């Protein structure tokens, strides 16, 4: 059966095989031409949108600098991400800081470094930010109270979620924000992540239409991120453009996954097959490097970087001491021999950024294939670095 995911571009595949001869595995690698193609497709679908790349998907400075050069802004949700965005050269007015809590110490740091545009998530935040940073430019995040189809950890727009202000609480929050001297640029809607259904977005857009009619005009309409890799962007784009135009607002978007997921792979080495009641292919990469299969049941397709006439079906076992440390199950593969390489696909978003030092696993090397050569985005962490903050 033909794979339903795009195969690795041949030049990138060759580069991965070459890299594995020079660098220890496992490592992440990203195909820049694929990222550029995704950006191009996004811009074609939303020609009038200003795009704030959601750093959380993949925050490597080498990627951020390239996005900045292509006129993207940055979406952050923590002080660390703002710091990183500034280090990558984004100016405060190009950075959007969201998230459900901005502590007094965070606000104080922003005052020193430069205040980004703030996405406010509750009445408490309106008050706190109004007090600490009067005059700041803000958006109010709406909790649209809509069901969406995705993993429940990723459904942020449901009424039960911790995010945003319910529609019925918006009026009071807007009043309070203005009374406190905040400059309200507009409203912000982020429905969830990995959304594949147009209907989910359409329901969100209909609500925004209603809210802008009731409480507008605003300078900006932020429709968030959340685009699933299979979403029909071309069908969605015109609806967003028309909506923003109708309200004479600048259209802002905050995509993360859509731009980088498909470009990234985690390259792991095979160390033999072990049989219990199942057949496990032993890999040097696992849950410390890529937590998504374990956390969300995410399916990451696998492409072998070797050949063999014999075939088998394997579960991909990581090296951790947990039964759940399995990157994929029932994967049909050519029979591997020790040293063979596997590329775990769709790992460019929320792969490295969610990796951990669990079991004193150093963070892996990250490489960028520029289309012409390989660039090191981040060195592999050393064992010594793992101990550095301890006495």
Active-site residues, by number, are 321
Candidates 114, 83, 49; CA nearest to 254 is 49
118-177 residues near ligand LLP, rule: CB under 6 A? 154, 156
Interface residue with ligand LLP among 224, 264, 293, 319 (CB under 6 A) is 224
Interface residue with ligand LLP among 46, 227, 252, 314 (CB under 6 A) is 227
Which range of residues in 79-87, 197-205, 225-233, 362-370 is near ligand LLP by CB under 6 A? 225-233
201 binds ligand LLP (CB under 6 A): no
Which range of residues in 2-10, 82-90, 186-194, 318-326 is near ligand LLP by CB under 6 A? 186-194
- Structure token pair of residue 132: 């600490």
46 binds ligand LLP (CB under 6 A): no
Q: Which is nearer to ligand LLP, 167 or 228 (CB)?
A: 228
377 binds ligand LLP (CB under 6 A): no
57 binds ligand LLP (CB under 6 A): yes
Which range of residues in 36-44, 130-138, 187-195, 202-210 is near ligand LLP by CB under 6 A? 187-195
194 binds ligand LLP (CB under 6 A): yes
Q: Which residues contact 348 (CB under 8 A, 6 or more apart)?
A: 28, 30, 35, 57, 58, 260, 261, 262, 263, 264, 265
- Rounded Cα distance between 115 and 188, Å, is 18
Which range of residues in 15-23, 52-60, 299-307, 316-324 is near ligand LLP by CB under 6 A? 52-60
DSSP-derived 3-state class of residue 353: helix
Q: How many CB atoms lie within 10 A of CB 160?
A: 9
- Which x/- pattern over 14-33 shows residues binding ligand LLP (rule: CB under 6 A)? --------------------
Locate the DSSP E strands across 5-108.
27-31, 50-54, 73-76, 95-97
345 binds ligand LLP (CB under 6 A): no
- Residue where the block lists tokens 């792969």: 351
We find the least distance from the C-beta atom of residue 310 to ligand LLP, in angstroms, to be: 34
Measured in whole angstroms, the distance separating CA 265 from the mean position of its chain's CA atoms is: 14
DSSP-derived 3-state class of residue 299: coil
CA-angle at 326, arms to 283 and 364, nearest 5°: 50
State the maximum Cα–Cα separation within the chain, in Å, rounded to a whole number.
72
Q: Which is nearer to ligand LLP, 193 or 361 (CB)?
A: 193
Which residue(s) pair with 265 in the sheet?
A: 29
- Residue where the block lists tokens 């301890």: 390
Q: Which is nearer to ligand LLP, 152 or 178 (CB)?
A: 152
204 binds ligand LLP (CB under 6 A): no
Q: Which is nearer to ligand LLP, 13 or 151 (CB)?
A: 151
DSSP string, 238-286: HHHHHHHHHTT-EEEE--SHHHHTTTEEEEEEEEEEEESSSEEEEES--
Q: Which residues contact 95 (CB under 8 A, 6 or more apart)?
A: 52, 73, 74, 75, 76, 82, 85, 86, 116, 117
Interface residue with ligand LLP among 25, 58, 98, 352 (CB under 6 A) is 98
264 near 347, Cβ under 8 Å?
A: yes
CA-angle at 157, arms to 156 and 162, nearest 5°: 60
Interface residue with ligand LLP among 256, 264, 293, 318 (CB under 6 A) is 256
Q: Which is nearer to ligand LLP, 142 or 302 (CB)?
A: 142
- Rounded Cα distance between 256 and 228, Å, is 10
255 binds ligand LLP (CB under 6 A): yes
190 binds ligand LLP (CB under 6 A): yes
- Residue where the block lists tokens 């300078």: 219
Interface residue with ligand LLP among 60, 292, 300, 378 (CB under 6 A) is 292
225 binds ligand LLP (CB under 6 A): yes
37 binds ligand LLP (CB under 6 A): no
What is the total count of residues that contact ligand LLP (CB under 6 A)? 24
- Rounded Cα distance between 338 and 155, Å, is 41
Which range of residues in 29-37, 105-113, 249-257, 367-375 is near ligand LLP by CB under 6 A? 249-257
Summarize as ranges the residues that interact with ligand LLP (CB under 6 A). 54, 56-57, 75, 98, 154, 156, 190, 193-194, 224-227, 254-258, 292, 296, 349-350, 354
């Amino acid at each position: 059966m033909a794979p339903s995911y795009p195969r690795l571009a041949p030049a990138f595949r060759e580069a991965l095989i070459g890299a594995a001869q020079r660098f220890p595995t496992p490592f992440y690698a990203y195909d820049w031409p694929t990222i550029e193609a995704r950006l191009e497709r996004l811009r074609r679908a939303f020609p009038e949108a200003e795009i704030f790349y959601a750093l959380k998907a993949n925050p490597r400075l080498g990627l951020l600098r390239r996005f900045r050069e292509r006129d993207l802004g940055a979406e952050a949700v923590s002080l660390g991400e703002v710091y990183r965005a500034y280090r990558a050269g984004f100016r405060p007015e190009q950075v959007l800081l969201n998230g459900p809590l901005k502590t007094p110490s965070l606000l104080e740091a922003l005052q020193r470094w430069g205040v980004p545009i703030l996405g406010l998530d509750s009445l408490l935040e309106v008050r706190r930010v109004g007090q600490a940073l009067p005059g700041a430019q803000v958006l109010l995040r709406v909790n649209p109270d809509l069901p969406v189809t995705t993993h429940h950890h990723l459904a942020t727009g449901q009424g039960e979620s911790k995010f945003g202000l319910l529609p019925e609480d918006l009026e009071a929050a807007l009043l309070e924000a203005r009374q406190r001297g905040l400059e309200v640029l507009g409203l912000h809607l982020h429905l969830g992540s990995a959304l594949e259904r147009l209907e989910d977005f359409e329901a969100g857009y209909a609500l925004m239409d209603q809210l802008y009619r009731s409480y507008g005009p605003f300078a900006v309409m932020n429709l968030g991120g959340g685009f699933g890799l299979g979403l029909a962007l071309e069908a969605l784009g015109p609806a967003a453009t028309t909506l923003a135009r109708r309200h004479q607002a600048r259209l802002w978007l905050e995509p993360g996954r859509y731009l980088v997921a498909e470009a990234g792979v985690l390259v792991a080495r095979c160390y033999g097959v072990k049989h219990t009641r199942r057949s496990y292919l032993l890999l040097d990469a696992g849950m410390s490097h890529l937590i998504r299969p374990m956390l969300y049941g995410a399916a990451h397709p696998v492409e072998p970087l070797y050949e063999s006439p014999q075939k088998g079906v394997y579960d991909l076992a990581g090296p951790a001491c947990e039964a759940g440390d399995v990157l994929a199950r029932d994967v049909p593969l050519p029979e591997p021999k020790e040293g063979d390489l596997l590329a775990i696909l769709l790992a460019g978003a929320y792969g490295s950024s969610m990796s951990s030092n669990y079991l004193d696993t150093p963070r892996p090397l990250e490489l960028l294939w520029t289309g012409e050569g390989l660039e090191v985005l981040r060195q592999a962490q050393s064992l010594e670095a793992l101990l550095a903050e301890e006495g």
